[in-house]
Structure 1
Amino acid sequence: MIKIGIFWFIENQVYAVCQDVNLAYSSINHILDTDFEHWQVWEDAAIKPRGIKLYQHEYFDFPRGRVLYNTTSFSSLVYLDKTLINEATKNKICQAFNLVSDKIIWKTDDHYTTDKDLLAKMFDFD
């Protein structure tokens, strides 16, 4: 079954926190989502890769994204850091979420950026 949720890409691995699409809630415009939030899940030891000192990092230090599902087009919608737009990484995300590759829309989103300059601009309140 197709899954939805959030993920990080750390040391060439997808670390997903997901659930079956049939357990999702509808947010807006027929888009199914979970209530998982990167900043909340980050503290959960279950998703932390072994051997990486994650306590030295914030949740936004690693490329990440979110997988949603559109009930109108019957397709998955993946928002992710632009550094993850390559075939090898997409394949790993598809495997982690059991996605059907011809029914996926891939979109970059600044919300998921790891670009230090862009992060500085987004959080500069001066």
Structure 2
Amino acid sequence: MSSDEDLTPKTETQLIAAIYERAQARKRERVAGAPEVGIFWVVDGKAVILGEPLGEAESWGEFKNYSQGHDREWSRFLQRNGIVPRDSEYDDYPRGRVVYNTITGSFNLIADKCILKDKSMAQKVLAELHLPSQTTTESDPHYKCQKCGG
């Protein structure tokens, strides 16, 4: 039996307890101001930011990354909960992500040029995800909104 199997909840009660403990651990990290990786959009002038602590982030080579993609979170969570327009697509709005480089120990905010040009919006993302002032920023052709061509 592997160590992963030993930690797998066996009953519904154990599963609920595990989910609760994970939520409490995340809450403690957020209260402590621990830096997070995440994905974000600017929708009608407002930042929509989803983050998670490094301990929950997915490993992608040398990077720690938010565990879900923009497309999935847009339809699964944001549209379903009325946070964004139901008749919209995830790439209709400026977007970006924050990753953590495990080799350099640094965070990188990668976003549509529209977001990077708006210093106050970029600062909002940095603050919400508790990122250090040394966080680098860059644009990427992948993050081009349809409205401005970012």
- Structures share fold, TM-score greater than 0.5: yes
Scaled by the length of structure 1, what TM-score is found? 0.78
Please say if residues 110 and 140 of structure 2, whose CA atoms lie closer than 8 Å, have aligned partners that are also in contact: yes
Hey, which of these two has a bigger chunk of strand by percent? 1
Question: Over the residues paired in the alignment, what is the CA RMSD in angstroms?
Answer: 2.2
Which residue number corresponds to residue 69 of structure 1?
Answer: 100
CA-to-aligned-CA distance 1:23-82 (integer Å, 9 cap, x gap): 223211x21112211111112147653xx6x12211111111011001222211111001
Letter in 1 for 2:70: H
- Give structure 2 stretches of 5+ with no counterpart: 1-33
CA drift of 1:118 comes to: 5.5
Cα distance in 1 between the residues matched to 2:96 and 2:148: 19
Query: Is residue 2 of structure 1 aligned with residue 29 of structure 2?
Result: no
Q: Count the aligned residue pairs.
A: 114
Question: Map of 1:1-126 to 2, 5 A cutoff?
Answer: 1-28=34-61, 30-43=62-75, 44-45=77-78, 48-49=82-83, 54-85=85-116, 86-102=118-134, 104-115=135-146
Larger Rg: 2
Q: 1:24 to 1:9 in 2, by over 3 A?
A: same
Cα distance in 1 between the residues matched to 2:148 and 2:127: 31
Scaled by the length of structure 2, what TM-score is found? 0.67
Q: 1:80 to 1:63 in 2, by over 3 A?
A: same
**Percent of aligned pairs sharing the same letter:** 25
Please say if residues 16 and 47 of structure 1, whose CA atoms lie closer than 8 Å, have aligned partners that are also in contact: no
Please say if residues 112 and 139 of structure 2, whose CA atoms lie closer than 8 Å, have aligned partners that are also in contact: yes
Cα distance in 2 between the residues matched to 1:91 and 1:99: 10
Question: Whose relative contact order is higher, 1 or 2, with alpha carbons under 8 Å and at least 6 apart?
Answer: 1
Letter in 2 for 1:101: S
CA drift of 1:116 comes to: 5.1
- Give structure 1 stretches of 5+ with no counterpart: 120-126
